């Protein structure tokens, strides 16, 4: 992604000095792309500093953690007051906050910028989520806007997010939503192939059709449809069928889960997606000779194929709505906790293009979270309409079908439970509070009077 961001900047008129610790990598880059713009090869950090005019901008694209700190320390001797560092990796937001404060003491600005879109998006137009020093962002904005993707509404997919680690926090939540959406698609695939006996060719046709609608059109739906069509160069069969069913992760999903717990925000769909990846990569848990038993006599009659397809589609759509809602609830809580004043409607807008979670669903959230009363009301009515009638019935029938056939759908099930919990007039946690007070004297509030009470004094 770093190489493609450099090419993107050069194509948009910036003078770009490139450096890689492996000199051969830098030379290979120059041979292949050096004529795409004003690109200068550099062998040292000093070469970079001498190649650029002040205030100089240094884009760091290395693995999150200690590597970022090391690069910053290596650059400090070459930095002048007013220079700007951009950390474009997936750094933890707390690290970005710490680095902002550290560099401010040296009169150097740090922009912690989330970048989404993958390698191709980095070149053709990513979604950019910059946070940190506002004056530094204002200086960079013309270039960043020229580099970012179009939002489809006449704007660009970049906006100042907020101070400190706000940009990287928003990118972290973006990745958490991404975990959830990918798991939902995987569960839809699993039910269609196991219960519905869909072939990969039929799955490709189904997902392609869904990607043409106004409910599920998204980047992830598009690439998923394409994956079903990919052939393996070794066997000649479907590539998907020879890929091991163990999904990796780089940590942003776990960070999202931990941050949500610290903020006291429920994100069950995202948590379920993280758990699903952990289980998939746990051979000691899964690969046992004494397979756990399954009772097949719970099976219900299989619905007609067209109805199964509608059930899966509705479940995907409504569960995806829950996933986005959980992410935005988390952003709202973080903004309140740290005084970031995040514009959630603007966050939804810059996710409309370039990024991995871009989807037509985001247009609804952009309006729901916006400041225009009429558009907010219309968008809320749209959401309520989605959740009424046949779609919700299909959502529930889908859960029954998967459960009766022993097909795990952790993210779909978490989404429906989340929806039922937030719509319920009364939850059973009154019993839990009674239990807590019974054994630990934690106290409880009553529904009929103010104050804190205890079971043993109330009975």
The catalytic residue positions are 171, 178
Residue 266: phi and psi, rounded to 5, are -85, 120
* Tally of CA atoms within 13 A in the half-sphere of 174 that contains its CB: 30
- Which residue, among 272, 259, 202, has the nearest Cα to 418 in the 3D structure? 272
Q: Is 42 helix (H, G, I), strand (E, B) or coil?
A: coil
- Which residue, among 224, 209, 222, 220, has the nearest Cα to 181 in the 3D structure? 220
Q: Which residue has the tokens 């959502």?
A: 395
Three state DSSP letters for 177-200? HHHHHHHHHHHHHHHHHHCCCCCH
CA-CA distance, 279 to 276, in Å (whole number)?
5
Angle in degrees, CA 67, 86, 22, rounded to 5:
45
Helices (H) and strands (E) in the chain, counts: 21, 6
% helix, strand, coil for the chain, step of 5: 60, 10, 35
- Which residue, among 95, 134, 138, 131, has the nearest Cα to 331 in the 3D structure? 131
Phi-psi region of 79 (alpha: psi -120 to 50; beta: other; left: phi over 0): beta
CA-CA distance, 365 to 344, in Å (whole number)?
9
Pairing mode, strands 127-132 and 109-116 = antiparallel
Contact 85, 60 (CB under 8 A): yes
Residue 337: phi and psi, rounded to 5, are -65, -40
CA torsion, ordered 147, 151, 157, 162, to nearest 10 deg: 160
DSSP labels, 117-170 = SHHHHHHH--EEEEEE-HHHHHHHHHHHHHHSPB-SSSSBSB----STTHHHHH
Contact 365, 348 (CB under 8 A): yes
Q: How far is CA 358 from CA 36, 175, 207, 354, in A?
A: 28, 12, 16, 7
Structure tokens belonging to residue 36:
């795409």
In sequence order, which residues have a C-beta less than 8 Å from that of residue 347 and are 6 or more positions away?
Answer: 129, 159, 161, 170, 328, 331
CA-CA distance, 4 to 24, in Å (whole number)?
17
């Amino acid at each position: 992604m770093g190489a493609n961001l450099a090419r993107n900047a050069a194509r948009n008129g910036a003078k770009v000095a490139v450096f890689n610790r492996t000199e051969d990598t830098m030379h290979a880059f120059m041979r292949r792309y050096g004529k795409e713009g004003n690109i200068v090869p550099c062998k040292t950090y000093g070469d970079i500093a001498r190649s650029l005019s002040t205030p100089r901008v240094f884009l760091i694209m290395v693995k999150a953690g200690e590597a970022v700190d090391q690069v910053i320390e290596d650059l400090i001797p070459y930095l002048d007051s007013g220079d700007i560092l951009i950390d474009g990796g997936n750094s933890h937001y707390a690290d970005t906050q710490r680095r902002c404060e550290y560099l401010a003491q040296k009169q150097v600005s740090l922009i912690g910028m989330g970048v989404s879109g993958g390698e191709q998006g980095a070149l053709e137009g990513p979604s950019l989520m910059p946070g940190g020093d506002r004056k530094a962002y204002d200086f960079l904005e013309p270039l960043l806007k020229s580099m970012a993707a179009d939002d489809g509404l006449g704007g660009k997919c970049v906006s100042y997010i907020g101070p400190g680690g706000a940009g990287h926090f928003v990118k972290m939540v973006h990745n958490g939503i991404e975990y959830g959406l990918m798991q939902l698609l995987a569960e839809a695939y699993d039910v269609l192939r196991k219960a519905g006996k869909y072939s990969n060719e039929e799955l490709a046709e189904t997902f392609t059709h869904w990607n043409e609608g106004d409910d599920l059109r998204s980047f992830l739906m598009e690439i998923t449809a394409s994956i079903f069509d990919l052939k393996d160069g070794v066997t000649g069969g479907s590539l998907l069928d020879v890929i091991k069913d163990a999904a990796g992760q780089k940590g942003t999903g776990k960070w999202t889960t931990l941050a949500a717990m610290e903020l006291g925000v429920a994100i069950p769909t995202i948590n379920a997606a993280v758990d699903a990846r952990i289980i998939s990569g746990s051979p000691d848990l899964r690969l046992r000779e004494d397979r756990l038993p399954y009772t097949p006599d719970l099976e219900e009659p299989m619905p007609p194929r067209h109805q199964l397809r509608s059930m899966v589609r509705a479940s995907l759509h409504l569960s995806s709505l829950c996933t986005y809602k959980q992410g935005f609830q988390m952003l709202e809580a973080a903004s309140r906790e740290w005084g970031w004043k995040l514009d959630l409607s603007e966050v939804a807008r810059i996710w409309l293009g370039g990024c991995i979670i871009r989807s037509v669903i985001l247009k609804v959230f952009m309006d729901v979270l916006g400041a225009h009363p009429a558009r907010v009301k219309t968008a809320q009515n749209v959401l309520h309409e989605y959740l009424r009638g046949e779609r919700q019935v299909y959502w529930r029938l889908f859960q029954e079908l998967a459960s009766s056939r022993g097909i795990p759908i952790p993210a779909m099930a978490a989404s429906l439970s989340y929806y039922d919990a937030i719509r319920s007039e009364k939850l059973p946690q009154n019993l839990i509070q009674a239990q807590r007070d019974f054994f630990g004297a934690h106290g409880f509030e009553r529904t009929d009077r103010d104050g804190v009470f205890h079971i043993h004094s109330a009975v």
